[in-house]
A and B are shown apart, each in its own frame.
Chain A
Amino acid sequence: MSETLKITDLHVAIEGKLILRGVNLTINRGEIHALMGPNGSGKSTLGNAIMGHPSYEVTGGAIELNGENVLEWDATGRSRAGIFMAFQRPMAIPGVKMADFLRHATTNVRNPERKEGEELIPMRQFRKELTEKMDQLRMDTEFARRYVNDGFSGGEMKRAEILQLAMLRPKFAILDETDSGLDVDAVKLASESIAEIGGEQMGILIITHHDKLLERNTPDFTHVMLGGKLVETGGVELARELYTDGYDRIRTSYPEAAAAEEAMTEVEAV
């Protein structure tokens, strides 16, 4: 049976403010989903809620992984269960070397039962794998000795997120604007890596405003978020329409969500 990440009627609030107002989405392993929508519509919020960010309060609905209740797990549990998110703005952890961080992360995700203090994956094996992956992403090996996201350029941060994806090999990955900040060549490389890592192995949710990642990773489904709801789902042609024509048609077709969007941004302006 195919593995599934299933989101049902998800409501999410931040600091008491409702952002997601009933999201339904089912991703099977092996599928590529594109998620588009105007700024501030709630795309990253959906990702963060799936990943278990403690500030994103789920006030209603369900998230299930193969029928298991994901909401009962903290971010650690979700990660070890095979969920991954490449962040739009990854955090810097000064003083912690990429290699050390990745070795811990990789060990934990591969041995979800690992307790604190237990053995890490052997250094040699880890180094070999890391070097391979870094070569593929054309990253200088020096990068592994740098501190996690500390002083990274925008593009370096995104590459580092893809490197983590490659090392952790999750079942489900959310890529939040992983293409933004990358130069043309880097986007191409990233697309290829994602395709390579993905294939039949991964269910992917690509959040993007551009077409580049989607060229090589053709979405099976495209979803549009507006005012905290997925208002329309289509195929690859919907993605094309949106990044060429924008969201005017969507706003007109879904006045209720458009009104919610306006309300959300108004509150912010205050």
Chain B
Amino acid sequence: MATDITEESSLGEINKYDFVTPTTAVFKAEKGINAEIVAQISEMKNEPGWMRDFRLEAFKIFESKPMPKWGGDISLDFQDIYYYLKPTNEQGKTWDDVPQEIKDTFDKLGIPEAEKKYLAGVKAQFESEVVYGSLQEDLGNKGVIFTDTDTAVREHPELLREYFGKIIPSTDNKFAALNSAVWSGGSFIYVPPGVKIDFPLQAYFRINAEQMGQFERTLIIVDEGAEVHYVEGCTAPMYTTESLHSAVVEVMVKKNGRCRYTTIQNWANNIYNLVTKRAMAYENALMEWVDGNLGSHLTMKYPAVYMMEPGARGEILSIAFSSTGQHQDAGAKVVHCAPNTKSRIISKSISKNGGRSSYRGLCKVEDGATGCKSNVVCDALILDSESRSDTYPYIEVEEQDVQIEHEASVSRIGEEQLFYLMSRGLTEAEASSMIVSGFIEPLIKELPMEYAVEMNRLIELQMEGSVG
């Protein structure tokens, strides 16, 4: 069977990178975290000393930091989690091990066979390797670097030492510190000055990389006048056996550069998804975060844009959908550090069957950042009386000459709207599904075509209640 071939070759792939060493098997059985484990992770990855030191330092910070006081209830036992279990664990994983309900969802979403295996954590696909190869060559000719972050540490130390952990220092918050100590996988992208990549780069094509991990670390550097659109994640429910996902994403957009980072994540119901995402935008640069969050037990994610120099712009579009047992605490953060910078936040949340969505946003204007504009719109749609939505907007302005607009709305699906659609032959379920898709339409429009289609389909499935 095809799966068997896949298995073997993925093993080969791993061996090539020295991921499997005799000690790993022993190590992997160990749960919990301490300085020794952190050092071992670094050692197993054959990392240079500076990265090992960075990890150890971060671990100290992690230990000293309190849990965040905002957001949702986090009841996690840090000693009950595996922090590095990739290679050996995955050897045993085949398509047959993937739960039927996940497979069914893939079918409903119409996800291609090859992609399904990738998403379910079954490694390697030859189909896309071909695509990946030619893509990589094309990008390479332009001087673009697109690889996984582990490889980047080995192959591009100068870039890594300059930027890694500089946009989000380990001291930022407890989970950023944790990620800094134990990170594995994630993407590294460098786009040289003036290079414009006119198709979205997708994590999916990044073969050889580690699987969508628990503690991914992504770093994107867009040099002057360069452009890139990076897409990560997928609308299919992410299958993982672990309960904590805590990624860090750092983005640097230099003068006149543009970066758009699109994420759609749909986690299983037991997952804590605690992510720190931050971008710095320099003179006349544009940073856009497009963020879709579904599933998970608790998601806390507030993509941020720091506008460092005049004319920088930040845009953050987010959608959150929460259902039974789920709390989406999502939002956005814009910090105006220089004059004439502009930001826009559009956030839409949908709560259903007892789900809870919160919008938590910060708009900050520093002293001297004159002529700034910020526009925030957050709309919540609540589908029934068991569900809940809250808005926590924080505005800190230290400058007079600024223009800040904030609009928030909370609405319940209207009986009148339902009746109108039903009087045209739509069932009640179709009608609410249509109202919901209309509600998020302004954001869906911003997604790449195939993601928009998947996202719509996913929302329909959520509305039918047949997904997670």
Contacts and interface: CB of A to CB of B under 8 A. Distances in A.
Interface of A: 51-55, 74-76, 78-80, 84-85, 87, 90-91, 93-96, 100-101, 104-105, 107-109, 112, 116-117, 147-148, 164, 168
Nearest to B443: A95
Interface string B391-422: 00000000000000000000000111101111
B427 A116 contact: yes
Given A93-B438, A95-B439, A105 B424 contact: yes
B440 A101 contact: no
Interface string B67-84: 000000000000000000
Given A54-B419, A91-B420, A105 B425 contact: yes
Contact of B425 (A80, A85, A90, A117): A80
B441 interface: yes
A243 B464 CA distance: 49
Given A93-B438, A95-B442, A76 B422 contact: yes
B428 A74 contact: yes
Given A79-B425, A94-B439, A104 B430 contact: yes
A93 B434 contact: yes
A75 B422 contact: yes
B114 interface: no
B425 A96 contact: no
Interface string B241-283: 0000000000000000000000000000000000000000000
A84 B441 CA distance: 28
A93 B417 contact: yes
Nearest to B435: A93
A96 B435 contact: yes
A95 B426 contact: no
A109 B422 CA distance: 11
Interface centre among B415, B428, B434, B440 (most CB of A within 10 A): B434
A262 B1 CA distance: 82
Contacts of A90: 420
Contacts of A101: 421, 424, 434
A78 B424 CA distance: 9
B414 A96 contact: no
B171 interface: no
A264 to B, nearest CB: 22
Contacts of A164: 424
A116 B464 contact: yes
B429 interface: yes
Given A55-B415, A91-B420, 11 more contacts: A74-B422, A74-B428, A76-B426, A76-B428, A79-B423, A93-B420, A94-B439, A95-B440, A96-B435, A116-B464, A147-B438
13 contacts: A74-B428, A76-B428, A91-B417, A91-B420, A93-B420, A93-B421, A95-B441, A101-B421, A104-B426, A104-B430, A105-B424, A109-B425, A147-B441
B422 A96 contact: no
Contacts of B417: 91, 93
B40 interface: no
B439 A91 contact: no
Contact of A116 (B429, B435, B439, B442): B429
A95 B442 CA distance: 7
B434 A79 contact: no
Nearest to B414: A91
Contact of B424 (A52, A55, A95, A168): A168
Contact of A95 (B414, B422, B430, B437): B437
Contacts of B437: 95-96
A87 B422 CA distance: 13
Contact of A96 (B419, B428, B441, B464): B441
A51 B423 contact: yes
Contacts of A108: 424-427, 430
Interface centre among B416, B420, B427, B439 (most CB of A within 10 A): B420
A96 B426 contact: no
A85 B423 contact: yes
B426 to A, nearest CB: 6
Contacts of A54: 415, 419
Nearest to A76: B422
- Report, nearest first, the 10 A-B pairs whose CB atoms are least far apart: A95-B438, A95-B441, A108-B425, A96-B438, A105-B424, A75-B422, A91-B420, A109-B425, A79-B425, A75-B423
Interface string B108-133: 00000000000000000000000000
Contacts of B416: 91
Contacts of B464: 116-117
A195 B66 CA distance: 74
A178 to B, nearest CB: 15
B458 to A, nearest CB: 14
Contacts of B420: 87, 90-91, 93
Contacts of A55: 415
A192 B439 CA distance: 36
Contacts of B438: 93-96, 147-148
Contacts of B424: 79, 101, 104-105, 108-109, 164, 168
A117 B466 CA distance: 12
